[in-house]
Amino acid sequence: MIGTTLGNRYTILSELGSGGMATVYKAHCAYLQRDVAIKVLKEDLCADDELLHRFDVEARSAASLTHPNIVQIYDVGREENLVYIVMELVDGKSLKELITENGPMPWQIAVDVMMKICSALQKAHTKGIIHRDIKPQNIMMTQDGEPKVADFGIAKTASSGMDTMKVDTVASVHYASPEQVRGGYTDAQSDLYSVGITLYEMLTGKLPYDGENPVSVALRHIQDAVPRVDFEREDIPKSLGDIVEKCMQKNRADRYETATLLYEDLEAVRKNPEIAVITIPMVKKVNETVLEGLVPVEEGNMAHYTNKRFRNRRRLNARKMIFPLLYIVLIGIIIALIVNIVQFVTKDLSATLPTASAVTDVVIGDYVGRPFTEVSGEIDLAGIKPVEVTYRYDDVVAEGVVIEQRPLDGSKLVIDGLSTLQIVVSKGKNNVAVPEILQMSRTELRLKLVDELGLNVEEKSEYSNEYDADQVIRLEPAPGIEVVR
């Protein structure tokens, strides 16, 4: 493939990597003079017409995702027996490579990276696109430390159905949800399970479930208890351990409902690690007689806990309890001394201290799908601030209508506080007028249509006694007609 030119514009420069479905190459785009990544499907997959049809639908759908933390898809093409996707080339390494090279991340950095991944997932989920293969290998990290999620919509096309996906590779099964390894229905909450596994690995440098083959790993996803990430590292706050545990619940009903809710809990822990963000469903207690019957296993076998590991966990839990109690006692003594001093100096403390907080909060309304002129008046009337309003094109939502909001409706926001109400308003369809031909050559017109105006172009050739070879005869729709980019 090296040296081959695809689509008359992408010249293959080198191979970047290969997987079960495709091989990824670095290529150069002659029209835009930039380097891109091209994922070429394996030839055996190209023989399945039904799969190729779904691939086209899903790849074009994924190409509509524009987000700073999603690898952008530029183009989809076919050439003889090759089917390929052209996408953004990320100058960096995968999250998996960074974990392998550097080990566990500081929890603050891991939370920051995962919040951006959640933002990307929420963008996809609101458009009905489920990733189905979230794992560190599919998350690229730029030189600046920004995560970019790759392969949106592509994992979905590998299934025999639109809502299920067979997981049969060692790499993917380590991050697959229980319903996914059973071959059942998968949805946004399946992605959030994989997010939990990924976050666990970011924080510990290892996988929560391992085995000799995909089947043994799959069984552990279904049967084994959910491990606590804060048991592995003493510096990880319990609140973050709760978040990871909630993501990894066997029953999807016990997980986060949306990536936005997960984002908000991660943000709360980043601001205050001691905060209690969620309630985890009760986990069945392990029978003590079973624990006493455990025998040491060979080193490297991660199928069961040993007696020693349970004793270590008990000691760790005991240490975790002692230090908070000592802090509480010490703080109590300090508070008592301060109160006595103040009472001695000011005989009437109640008259000099405020009795209520001056903080004012407001409940956020549901603004999505409503005209911004109406929403703006409602926000002003409620006194909500600060407010950040951004505008973007949207092929579905009418101009002037709210597309997204954060925080979601029902959330509380402190007026003039640290949190900002973010509103995204539609600019309507991004229409452009079909240009005049003016006897342009094929190459010149294609550059204008594809690169300047962002249109999809289908070319057809025919004989002509009036026009020279490679000259454009006509356009459909005709020049002057407005079309959506």
- Please say whether the beta carbons of 21 and 41 come within 8 A: yes
The rounded distance, in Å, linking the Cα atoms of 118 and 114 is 6
DSSP secondary structure string for all residues of 409-439: TT-EEETTSS--EEEEEE----EEEPPP-TT
Instruction: Assess contact for 266 and 258: CB atoms under 8 A.
Output: no
CA distance 285 to 121: 34
Cβ neighbors of 66 (< 8 A, separation 6 or more) are 72
CB 427 within 8 A of CB 470: no
Q: What Å distances lie between residue 474 and 478, 480, 481, 485, CA to CA? A: 8, 13, 13, 19
Q: Measure CA 328 to chain center.
A: 39
Cα distances (Å, whole numbers) of residue 271 to 99, 262, 266, 427 = 24, 14, 9, 34
- Is 154:45 a contact under the CB 8 Å cutoff? no
What dihedral do alpha carbons 339, 342, 343, 344 form, nearest 10°?
120
What's the CA gap between 55 and 49, in Å, rounded?
10
| CB burial string 133-147: b at 16+ within 10 A, e below | bbbbbbbbbeeeeeb
Compute φ and ψ for 362, nearest 5 degrees. Answer: -140, 150
The first and second tokens of residue 136, run together, are 């560190």
**Cα distances (angstroms) measured from residue 80 to each of 13, 30, 43, 305, 331:** 20, 21, 11, 54, 74
Q: Active-site residues: which are they?
A: 133
φ, ψ dihedrals at 171, nearest 5°: -60, -45
Calpha distance 86→104 (Å, rounded): 33
Nearest alpha carbon to residue 242 among 223, 255, 259? 255
CB 77: neighbour CB atoms within 10 A?
A: 15
- Shortest CA distance to 361 belongs to which of 407, 306, 316? 407
